[in-house]
């Protein structure tokens, strides 16, 4: 940032404002060209009575950075102005020059000085060829009296400032100006030096203010009395008042909950304190400002607690980027059965709350997929989805994984400690799979987290607040586990707030074809059989009459096996049962004999008719691509009757 040129005003006061530039003004004008590149210099002749008024007007209009005046005028203006005021001080060479000029007019010379007489001159008086009288003054009346007194002593030449010279000449004496061009030059050089330092400080302050303007945290600096010296827009916004209204006021008045008096008295700040600032809750830090080891004030920084929470979430989520995410959505969970539609309807409703959900059901029924879908349909889809299998880890590891640990909590613990999965799931969802297998000792700690929403790390002393939605799942009957002492009753009622029960695949055979097609689409392409992207339609009746003890997980395994050998299993669209039985023996475990269709005894017409009927049912179902509803309509029977016919075929 380019700063404007420095402005120096040389203010010369007189008894009456002269009609033309005074002798001292002419001296200054003669030097101005030497400083044209460094500063703008103005010379103003004014009266003693007008000097303060003129100086204040220049300050108010911003037309001056520093004043340069003679001794008496400088002392007077310095008390009333905010800009620096420098005095043109008379040196020994100036006096010798002035004495040489004065002795040409009189053998008795007077030196009238501001404030005090020159002791050096008094000590050397015997060396001069003229008699030297000295007098001093502090006011205009004293200056007039001093001139009259030296005149009575016989002095006919008077050395002094412009005002003294004018008083002398009014009395009929010879006035000699005590200031020379060298004196004026020294004063101008000093003014430029001060301005240079000032401008460096101003540039630093402007740079600092520019930085503070863009800091999102609120910042204020106070002096050693607790008065606000600077304040950034972020803090002004928190205080709900303009920055100008806070400057110059006690910080304690603006922030009553701060213990500023204690901090100023002891010189020790306070960190991470939660206070109310206007209508906001903020985290504040109050720290001393030290310059050369000395405290010169205090600095306050504060941040809205909501911003701190957002930063905390970003920090937590960045520790394991991308590791905690949910891939599946509720609409991806296949199945058009009434049971599946009812399950998804409840899941969508429950997703809109933050209440704990307990999902029960057999293994392989998609409990984690359901939990992921609920997370993505909730108000936390952008938060982490953290899943842990409570049955897969030993108790010692499960505890440290769930709750984390501090450095040194146990032998081999990581330096700096480790956050647990509860912390990792902050602002998201924690899925506790197979929660029924969690050790009873950890169930107590889990219950406390659910109650308090706080986690205490292993080896830690301060609890950490967490905002986590809990979804638990189990294939066990937790009521039986409670009766046998393997599951806490109070934890069960904490988990069993919202309940979802998955339906086993054997109870919704109408979903098998749809789920199977979805599995085919999800499986990675591998080999020419999968390139066709088709599941043999003739296989569907075998799939729909199997009991599926492994549910959807088992169906996925079988579909993948079938796709890899699909070309070997069919001929002219018909299943080769011997090859199917060899490849997938599970489908034939409930059957007697290798044939897919019961073979009637010769001559048994009823049996033969029944076999033909079953063959027709199978062909119709294949033509409908496994759609039980459509096949039942074409056959003119109910879906439940169709299901019973197919089940009878497998026996």
With beta carbons less than 8 A apart as the criterion, state whether 621 and 628 touch: yes
Q: What is the mean pLDDT of the chain?
A: 82
The total number of residues shown for the chain amounts to 651
From the list 320, 374, 359, the residue with the least C-alpha distance to 478 is 359
**pLDDT tens digits, residue range 67-85?**
999 878 888 899 999 899 9
Q: How many helices (H) and strands (E) does the chain have?
A: 29, 24
Res 608 pLDDT > 50:
no
* Residue of 570, 571, 556, 560 lying closest to 527 (CA atoms): 560
Give the list of residues 6+ apart from residue 94 with CB closer than 8 angstroms, or none: 178, 179, 180, 182, 183
Top mean pLDDT of 43-47, 212-216, 394-398 is at 43-47
111-120, 543-552, 611-620 — most confident range: 543-552
CA 144 vs. chain centroid, Å, equals: 70
Of the pLDDT bands very low, low, confident and very high (cuts 50, 70, 90), residue 599 is: very low
pLDDT at position 531 is 39
Instruction: Tell me the pLDDT tens digit for each residue of 632-643.
Output: 777 777 777 777
> Please, which pLDDT band fits residue 20 given cuts at 50, 70 and 90?
confident
Assign 607 a pLDDT band (cuts: 50, 70, 90): very low
Domains of the chain: 6-88+186-194 (3.40.50.2300), 92-178 (3.40.50.10660), 215-308 (3.30.450.20), 330-503 (3.40.50.300), 506-650 (no CATH)
CB 375 within 8 Å of CB 326? yes
pTM recorded for the entire structure = 0.50
Please compute the mean of the pLDDT values over residues 226-235 and round it to a whole number. 85
Q: What is the mean pLDDT of residues 531-539?
A: 63
Q: Which residue has the higher pLDDT, 215 or 330?
A: 330
**Cβ partners under 8 Å of residue 280, min gap 6:** 238, 304, 305
- Count other Cβ atoms within 10 Å, centred on residue 634: 12
Confidence of residue 647 (pLDDT cuts 50, 70, 90): low
Give the CA-trace dihedral at 555, 559, 562, 567, to 10 degrees.
150
**Per residue in 410-454, pLDDT tens?**
665 666 678 888 888 888 999 999 999 988 888 988 898 888 888
* Residue 594's pLDDT band (cuts 50, 70, 90): very low
Q: What percent of the chain has pLDDT over 70?
A: 87
| Residue with the two structure tokens 């039942």 | 632
Q: What is the 3-state secondary structure (H, E, C) of 75-118?
A: HHHHCCCCCCEEECCCCHHHHHHHHHHHCCCCCEEEEEEECCCC
Check pLDDT > 70 for residue 165: yes
* Cα–Cα dist 247/649, whole Å: 91
Q: Does position 152 have pLDDT exceeding 50, yes or no?
A: yes
């Amino acid at each position: 940032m380019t700063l404007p040129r420095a402005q120096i005003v040389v203010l010369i006061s007189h008894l009456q404002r002269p009609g033309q530039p005074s002798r001292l003004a002419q001296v200054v004008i003669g030097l101005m060209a030497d400083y044209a590149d460094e500063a703008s210099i103005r010379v103003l002749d004014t009266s003693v009575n007008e000097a303060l008024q003129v100086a204040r007007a220049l300050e108010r209009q911003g037309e001056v950075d520093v004043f340069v005046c003679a001794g008496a005028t400088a002392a007077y203006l310095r008390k009333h102005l905010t800009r620096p005021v420098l005095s043109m001080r008379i040196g020994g060479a100036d006096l010798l020059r002035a004495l040489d000029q004065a002795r040409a007019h009189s053998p008795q010379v007077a030196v009238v000085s501001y404030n005090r007489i020159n002791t050096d001159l008094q000590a050397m008086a015997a060396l001069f060829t003229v008699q030297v009288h000295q007098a001093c003054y502090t006011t205009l009346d004293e200056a007039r009296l001093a001139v009259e007194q030296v005149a009575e002593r016989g002095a006919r030449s008077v050395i002094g400032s412009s005002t003294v010279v004018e008083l002398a000449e009014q009395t009929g004496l010879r006035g000699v100006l005590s200031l020379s061009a060298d004196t004026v030059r020294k004063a101008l050089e000093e003014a430029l030096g001060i301005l240079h330092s000032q401008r460096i400080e101003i540039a630093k302050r402007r740079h600092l203010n520019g930085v503070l303007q863009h800091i999102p945290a609120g910042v204020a600096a106070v002096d050693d009395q607790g008065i606000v010296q600077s304040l950034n827009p972020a803090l002004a916004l928190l205080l709900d008042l303009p920055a100008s209204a806070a400057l110059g006021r006690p910080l304690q008045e603006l922030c009553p909950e701060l213990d500023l008096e204690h901090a100023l008295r002891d010189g020790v700040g306070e960190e991470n304190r939660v206070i109310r600032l206007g209508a906001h809750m903020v985290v504040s830090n109050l720290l001393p400002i030290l310059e050369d080891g000395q405290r010169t004030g205090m600095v306050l920084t504060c941040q809205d607690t909501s911003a701190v929470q957002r930063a905390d979430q970003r920090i937590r989520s960045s520790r394991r980027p991308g590791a905690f995410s949910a891939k599946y959505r509720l609409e991806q969970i296949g199945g058009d059965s009434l049971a599946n539609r009812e399950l998804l309807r409840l899941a969508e409703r429950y997703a809109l709350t933050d209440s704990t959900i307990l999902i029960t059901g057999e293994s392989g029924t998609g409990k984690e997929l359901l939990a992921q879908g609920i997370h993505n349909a909730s108000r936390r889809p952008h938060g982490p989805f953290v899943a842990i299998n409570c049955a897969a880890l030993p108790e010692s590891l499960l505890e440290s994984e769930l709750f984390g640990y501090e450095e040194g909590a146990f032998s081999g613990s990581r330096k700096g400690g480790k956050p647990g999965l509860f912390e990792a799931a902050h602002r998201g969802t924690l899925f506790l799979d197979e929660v029924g297998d969690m050790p009873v000792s950890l169930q107590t700690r889990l219950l406390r987290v659910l109650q308090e929403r706080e986690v205490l790390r292993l080896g830690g002393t301060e609890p950490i607040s967490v905002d986590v939605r809990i979804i638990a799942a189990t294939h066990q009957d937790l009521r039986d586990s409670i009766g046998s002492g393997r599951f806490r009753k109070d934890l069960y009622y904490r988990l069993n707030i919202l309940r979802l029960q998955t339906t086993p695949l054997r109870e919704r055979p109408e979903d098998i074809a749809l789920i199977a097609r979805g599995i085919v689409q999800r499986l990675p392409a591998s080999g020419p059989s999968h390139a066709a992207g088709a599941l043999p339609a003739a296989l569907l009746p075998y799939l729909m009459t199997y009991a599926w003890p492994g549910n959807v997980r088992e169906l996925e395994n079988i579909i993948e096996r079938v796709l890899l050998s699909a070309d070997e299993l069919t001929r002219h669209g018909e299943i080769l049962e011997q090859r199917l039985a060899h490849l997938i023996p599970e489908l034939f475990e409930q059957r007697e004999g290798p044939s897919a269709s019961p073979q009637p005894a010769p001559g048994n017409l009823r049996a033969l008719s029944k076999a033909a009927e079953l063959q027709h049912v199978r062909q119709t179902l294949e033509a409908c691509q496994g759609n039980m509803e459509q096949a039942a309509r074409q056959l003119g029977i109910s879906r439940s009757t169709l299901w019973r016919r197919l089940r009878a075929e497998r026996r």
